[in-house]
Amino acid sequence: MRTIKDIATPTRTNEILKKHGLVLKKSLGQNFLVESNVIQQVIRKANITKQTAVIEVGPGIGSLTEQLARTAGHVIAFEIDQRLIPILNDTLSPYDNITLINEDILEADISAAIETHLAEFDEVIVVANLPYYITTPILMHFLESGLDIKRYYVMMQKEVGERISARPGTKSYGSLSIAIDFYTEARTIQDVPKTVFMPPPNVDSIIIELIKRDTPKVDVESPEVFFKLTRGGFVQRRKTILNCYQTIFENGKKEKDAIRRLLAAAEIEENRRGESLSIEEYYRIYKAYQLQNTLKLL
């Protein structure tokens, strides 16, 4: 394999953009990493070896992809922007262990891609610099898919990362915090300043590690119902759980007493705010809801 200069530098990135006449699309969150040290830190934290296969989302011009390929056994990179495919074929041409797939990750058959390209590897993980505008849908798509992927190392907008790892009663805590906690154990790896991107975004980033639980944190037969109940607690953050829940049930205003009975059965004080409730307390609401037959979720 011939030696090439890292893509993740300002000079090389500028050369590539100029060579291909690429105009970046803000709508696709295209901000390219130009600091190799950040990438190397992620790779070290993820303990990537040649027995590790990696799925990447949004490779851009390949700054993260090439360094993953140097360490991992194989990399599958999903890129939605057709314009970037010939650029990636150029920048990543020295590597024979990369598969580029020009598809929207939310519509792609990830399971088939794993079976076709990664069946021989001991472990498949996700490492990605996720576009800010679609971070949450991508994460939930992976976590809800049932794929045998245990570890995720994802760079995202700092505000979203703080919401993911937030605890009850904090400003950042919300339904996303509960959904991530339901499926994974999350921790912050490191902060990433906006200055290491080209062009620099308006906000700093953060790298989060997600380790998928063997089973969800709480045992629910219907995750759909559980998440409706958790999201319902945050529809109006300054309102009590009693007031919030009047908006998520059919005829909620008229069913106030029934909602009171639901909360009482779950041993939740009706004047508490949704952001003060832990995932275990929302589980109690879910269990109480499953036992009553009067309230209907919208």
Residues in binding site? 31, 33, 58, 79, 104, 129
The Cα 132–Cα 119 span in angstroms is 31
Q: Is 154:178 a contact under the CB 8 Å cutoff? A: no
- Rounded to 5°, angle at Cα 101 from 202 and 99: 105
- Rounded to 5°, angle at Cα 47 from 188 and 107: 70
The Cα 185–Cα 242 span in angstroms is 29
Backbone angles phi, psi at 229, to 5 degrees: -70, -35
Numbered residues of the known binding site for S-adenosyl-L-methionine:
31, 33, 58, 79, 104, 129
Helices (H), the chain: 10-20, 36-45, 63-71, 84-91, 110-117, 135-144, 158-164, 175-183, 223-232, 241-245, 256-265, 279-291
The Cα 90–Cα 209 span in angstroms is 31
The Cα 7–Cα 98 span in angstroms is 15
The Cα 276–Cα 244 span in angstroms is 13
Residue 135 CB contacts under 8 Å (≥ 6 apart), including other chains: 154, 156, 157, 160
